[in-house]
Amino acid sequence: MKIISFFESIHTLSEQAREALLDIMQTKRYAKNDIIQDIGSSCKTVFFVKTGCARIFYYKDGNDITEHFAFEN
């Protein structure tokens, strides 16, 4: 799994940590223009973009403001 390799590139994971991560992670697919988190809600999820890209944005004074682009891996 690419995400485990990513974590391993930063710090070696024990087998217990690896298994714990695999137990709580799940793969989800989203279509273009899907909103994956409602504006104004508290984020309690960490997302990893496996393929494609995502845009983080908010509204200010009626304008759509892009805060960040997240690309695969």
> Average pLDDT in the 28-36 region?
93
Domain span at residue 35 reads 2-71
> Average pLDDT in the 63-68 region?
94
Q: How far is CA 67 from CA 9, 55, 56, 58, in A?
A: 27, 8, 5, 7
pTM of the model: 0.70
pLDDT band at 13 (very low <50, low <70, confident <90, very high): very high
> Average pLDDT in the 22-48 region?
90
55 forms bridges with which residues in the sheet? 69
Q: Report the chain's C-alpha Rg in angstroms.
A: 15
SS3 per-residue string spanning 2-31: HHHHHHHHHCCCCHHHHHHHHHHCCCCCCC
> Average pLDDT in the 63-72 region?
94
The two structure tokens encoding residue 43: 């984020």
| 3-class DSSP assignment, residue 45 | coil
pLDDT at 1 over 80: no
- The number of domains in the chain is 1
